Structure 1
Amino acid sequence: MGRAYEVRKASMAKTAAAKTKVYSRYGKEIYMAAKQGIPDPEMNTSLKRMIDEARSKQVPADVIQRAIDKAKGGSEDNYHASSFEGFGPGASTIIVECLTDNDNRTVSEVRNCFTKSNGKMGVSGSVVHMYEHLGVLSFEYDNDEKVFEILLEDEVELNDVELEEGFMNVTVDPSHLHKAKESLEKNLGDLTFDVLEISYLPFEYVSLTDEEQADFDKLMGMLDEVEDVQNVYHNVLGASE
């Protein structure tokens, strides 16, 4: 299996939250984007981009609108991003991204997940160097040379373009994710993006024993239940969503 498979698999093998978790995640991020600028996607680039990502995850329009309306209403809720790195069962490594309004609560809850699953929280920088930080786009299309030419012509900072089983898998510099999306739509028409996100992709994947896998699944389940957790990235090959 090539790198294209790994890109799609890594993006899809993050902790698979229930739909309500996904809606909550994007609700917070859209709210913060709207609150920190003008609550109108036509006048707020960050908000427009966050809405695009939410739509790629099938977040309903009413969830998106409620988050914008909340920002318009002057809500005092305030979240900021924080991330944690750790070591799970076996040779697994994990990056946890959160949006929180209480750092002490969040770090305590995340550490508890690691501790109760035979894992260990690491210091900042202990894991992230084992991953690539990339913008990831995946969509149905069958001409990788054309995609490559389009993105180069529009000066997108491109990492890789690969075609696998009718899916185009594109990785770019994180800051160029939405530039790439707009370039592709401009030249190829309306596209449905299976993946449209900024992600951490491991340089190498690992396999776990049955016992390690059970602990790893427990860790993923516990992290999924932490309200402040937005994204979880890992290096376990074939881990279930």
Structure 2
Amino acid sequence: MAGHSKWANIQHRKGKQDKLRSKLFSKLSKEITVAARMGDPDPDKNARLRLAVKEAKSNSMPKDVIDRAIKKSQGGDAENYEEIRYEGYGPAGVAIIVEAMTDNRNRTASTVRSTFAKHGGDLGQTGSVAFMFERKGEIVYPASAGDADTVMMAALEAGAEDVESDDEGHWITTSDTELAEVSTALEASLGESESAKLIWKPQAPAEITDLEQAQKLMRLIETLEDDDDVQTVTGNFDISEDVAARL
């Protein structure tokens, strides 16, 4: 689920963690390969690839796996992935955007559509919910990067639009076109960030206060995210602290 969440993730058994880690690496590798194929294989000359590599490193992906993904983009036998965006509504009327990379559009569309239907949602047409979001860049720093005022000043000087800080860290918002530039500038003043990526930012998130609706919504999102073709899932909702604790 794109964006940051202020409620803690539940820890699972090691076996499941390993599976999730493997799936995450697969998605990150796919983004690196596509970014390298669409532009220059040198991250210093390719902003999208530079961000993809940065995101992979922030998730502890080994360097040899990153290098292999870049090299794969230059091979003639590499998969030809197509980027597709799906939009729809989940339980409680939550607007959802699904970004996918696939080598089989029909397979992915069928899977995403049936997932929405099975979990109380409804897949819509392109543009049916995107107007409820803004395409933005998001850079995440840990709380140890500095106090709110220090990070705010550094972010604004680097060209960022806004900063949200709390005890857990700092979330810096940029325009979608200036993410790479702002991220690079911030490294000089704050050091390496935890994450730097494009997101769909909800304009007016709805608070989910019903436990059953929240459970249905999370099952839908988790099932979508479990699909190998799906890269990100974003919804325009917040879960109340009481419901989050009960989840």
Give TM-score scaled by structure 1 length.
0.83
- Within a 5 Å distance, the mapping from 1:13-92 to structure 2 comes to 18-92=20-94
Q: 1:232 maps to what in 2?
A: 233
**Distance in 1 of aligned mates of 2:92 and 2:216:** 9
Shift of 1:11: 11
**Corresponding residue of 1:198:** 198
The one-letter code of the counterpart of 2:146 is D
In structure 2, distance between residues paired with 1:12 and 1:31: 31
Instruction: Give the distance between the partners of 1:224 and 1:187, measured in 2 at CA.
Output: 34
* CA distance in structure 2 between the partners assigned to 1:10 and 1:97 by the alignment: 23
Aligned match of 1:3: none
1:9 counterpart residue number: 5
* Higher mean C-alpha displacement, 84-93 vs 58-67: 58-67
* Structural RMSD (CA): 2.7
Structure 2: runs of 5 or more not aligned = 10-16
1:59-89 Cα shifts (integer Å, max 9, x gaps): 2222212211212333241112111111111
**CA distance in structure 1 between the aligned counterparts of 2:45 and 2:237, rounded to whole angstroms:** 40
Q: Deviations over 1:122-160 (max 9, x none)?
A: 122221222232111121323444444444444x2x321
Deviations 1:92-124 (A, max 9, x none): 221100011221111111000001111101122
Q: Distance in 1 between matches of 2:151 and 2:162?
A: 11
Shift >6 Å, 4+ stretches: 10-13
Q: Which amino acid aligns with 1:88?
A: G
SS in 2 for 1:206: strand
TM superposition shift of 1:10: 7.5
Q: Which runs of 5+ in 1 are unaligned?
A: 1-6
Which amino acid letter does the alignment assign opposite residue 226 of structure 1?
D
CA distance in 2, matches of 1:143, 1:108: 47
Count of aligned residue pairs for this structure pair: 229
Question: What SS does structure 2 have at the residue aligned with 1:180?
Answer: helix
Q: Is the 8 A contact 2:116 2:122 kept in 1?
A: yes
The aligned residue for residue 120 of structure 1 is 122
Whether the aligned pair in 2 keeps the contact of 1:10 and 1:201 (CA below 8 Å) is no
Range with bigger deviation, 205-214 or 56-65: 205-214
Amino acid of the residue matched to residue 105 of structure 1?
Answer: R
- The separation in 2 between residues aligned to 1:30 and 1:12, in whole angstroms, is 28
Paired AA for residue 204 in structure 1: P
**Post-superposition shift, 1:205?**
2.6
Which residue identity lines up with residue 195 of structure 1 in the other structure?
Answer: S
Helix, strand or coil: the match of 2:228? coil
- 3-state secondary structure, aligned to 1:199: strand
The residue aligned with 1:130 is 132
Does structure 1 conserve the Cα–Cα contact (< 8 Å) formed by 2:112 and 2:224? yes
Structure number with the bigger relative contact order (C-alpha 8 A, sep ≥ 6) is 1
Equivalent of residue 146 in structure 2, options 137, 142, 147: 142
% identity of equivalent residues: 33
Match of 2:215 in 1: 214
